[in-house]
Amino acid sequence: MSILITNIKQLLQVHDSNVTIVKGDAMKNLPVIENAYVYIDHDTIIEYGKMEDYRPIEADTVIDATGKIVLPSWCDSHTHVVYAGDRTSEFVDRINGLSYAEIANKGGGILNSAKKLQDTSEDDLFEQSIKRLNELIAMGSGAVEIKTGYGLTTEAELKMLRVIKRIKQESLAKIIPTLLAAHAIPEEFKSKKQDYIKYITEELIPQAAKLNITHYVDVFCEEGYFDIKDTEAILEAGKKYNLRPKIHVNQFNILGGIALGVKHNALSVDHLEELNDDDIKALKGSDTISVALPGCSYFISIPYTPARKIIDAGLPLAIATDYNPGTAPSGNMNFVVSAACVKLKLTPEEAINAATINGAYAMGISNMYGSITRGKKANLIITKPMNHYSEIPYAFAHDPIEQVIINGQLL
Ligand SMILES: [Zn+2]
């Protein structure tokens, strides 16, 4: 099955050589071919160029993209797509003025999701979750990270991992599973957190690693949840099973989690709504990418990640949805790209870099995803007619997408 797309108004994020990350000032540059074509065969990008250089190619499907933009699918490097039920009642509590901590203390938050998930069958959980994933794909996401973390027991965490594995097998999208081993402290361990850390490091992680589904371990490093010492113990336990850290840090408090992540060669440090100069210093010269989650800031009215500080320091930045039932119940990357421009003060070029190639980097897949490059996977967005790619973030909350191609298949 081959697809030829012709007369593309703007073909975005074109790299002849395999670029795997863009940092700092380089994020201002988004390589574009005006009036372009692209040819894909099976699941691979084969050829592209200017229409004036186009020589006829036989293809099973030909798409005339006159007036439209073509770009790599969004790479959403931080989601909690697998969950049971929803938390709309907490939404109303929040409107009425309750804080994240107050909602958690009255039995809401992660513990609420955990209870629902534990009571949901594996098949039901799969059905609920793949339906959500398919919505994300229709909104342009072609590669999606999915975390566990609503299990809180080994049994329920393994159930989540098996569901993510099944999604990975059945979906055309690229799925990256992450073991969020330490997300919250269950009620029965409230007064004996160290016992729970022991349970995570000696039982949950070894058993989860045995399934061989994930290469990443995550911790919610935050006041009232897992402190630096706890986080380090969990990262050390993960390391024994070759699980690389991708961690939640600096959402509400600065505990030193960024430096700890860098010390343990984290692939990404995510959230960073709170950020100081020591954090920036720690990130310099590392292979760790920062991930901002503006949908979460929007939804629970907390500060936005100071993204300019990160990019202006020469560092790379990715943006993701944090799609989850409590603090970001939207997996729409188009909105995230827009919010990155409006609230994080990224230019459209920086935001698109953050949502494609750098998002792929934050999942460890940027050698095969995130740019229009010969030999890379054919995950593409074809937009509705528009004058310029800046209209994607400009027309916020509009749906810019006309068609998506995932793994070489037109959906
Ligand atoms: Zn998250």
How far apart are alpha carbons 23 and 352 in whole angstroms?
13
pLDDT tens, residue by residue, 330-380: 999 999 999 999 999 999 999 999 999 999 999 999 999 999 999 999 999
Question: Looking only at Cα atoms, what is the longest distance across the chain?
Answer: 71
Q: What's the 80 CA to ligand 1 centre distance in angstroms?
A: 7
Q: What's the 273 CA to ligand 1 centre distance in angstroms?
A: 13
Q: What's the 372 CA to ligand 1 centre distance in angstroms?
A: 28
Q: What's the 27 CA to ligand 1 centre distance in angstroms?
A: 24
Token readout for 312 is 């202006």
Q: Set out the domains of the chain in order of their start, with CATH numbers.
A: 2-72+370-410 (2.30.40.10), 75-361 (3.20.20.140)
Instruction: Report the SS3 class of residue 235.
Output: helix
Cβ neighbours of residue 335 under 8 Å, at least 6 residues apart? 295, 396, 397
Q: What is the DSSP letter of 370?
A: S
Average pLDDT over residues 286-295: 98
Place of tokens 């809401």: 108
Q: What's the 135 CA to ligand 1 centre distance in angstroms?
A: 19
Token readout for 160 is 């989540």
Place of tokens 């080994």: 154
Q: What's the 293 CA to ligand 1 centre distance in angstroms?
A: 8
Beta carbons of 92 and 45 less than 8 angstroms apart: no
pLDDT tens, residue by residue, 254-284: 999 999 999 999 999 999 999 999 999 999 9
Q: What's the 169 CA to ligand 1 centre distance in angstroms?
A: 23
Read off the amino acid at residue 55: R
Residues in the chain: 411
pLDDT tens, residue by residue, 187-235: 899 999 999 999 999 999 999 999 999 999 999 999 999 999 999 999 9
Q: What's the 317 CA to ligand 1 centre distance in angstroms?
A: 16
Question: Percent of the chain at pLDDT above 90?
Answer: 92
Beta carbons of 342 and 396 less than 8 angstroms apart: yes
Q: What's the 323 CA to ligand 1 centre distance in angstroms?
A: 7
Q: What's the 5 CA to ligand 1 centre distance in angstroms?
A: 36
Q: What's the 128 CA to ligand 1 centre distance in angstroms?
A: 19
Q: What's the 248 CA to ligand 1 centre distance in angstroms?
A: 6
The pLDDT assigned to 238 comes to 98
Place of tokens 């030909």: 62
The pLDDT assigned to 88 comes to 87
Report whether pLDDT(101) > 90.
Answer: no
Beta-strand ranges (E) seen in 266-349 are 268-271, 289-292, 317-319
Average pLDDT over residues 130-151: 97
CA-derived radius of gyration, the chain:
21
CB atoms within 10 A of CB 91: 16
Please spell the DSSP secondary structure of 8-33, one letter per residue. Answer: EEEEESB-SS------GGGGG---EE
Token readout for 21 is 């990350």
Q: Residue 109: pLDDT band by 50, 70, 90 thresholds?
A: confident
Q: What's the 157 CA to ligand 1 centre distance in angstroms?
A: 16
Instruction: Record the pTM.
Output: 0.97
Q: What's the 322 CA to ligand 1 centre distance in angstroms?
A: 5
Give me the chain's average pLDDT, please. 96
Q: What's the 67 CA to ligand 1 centre distance in angstroms?
A: 37
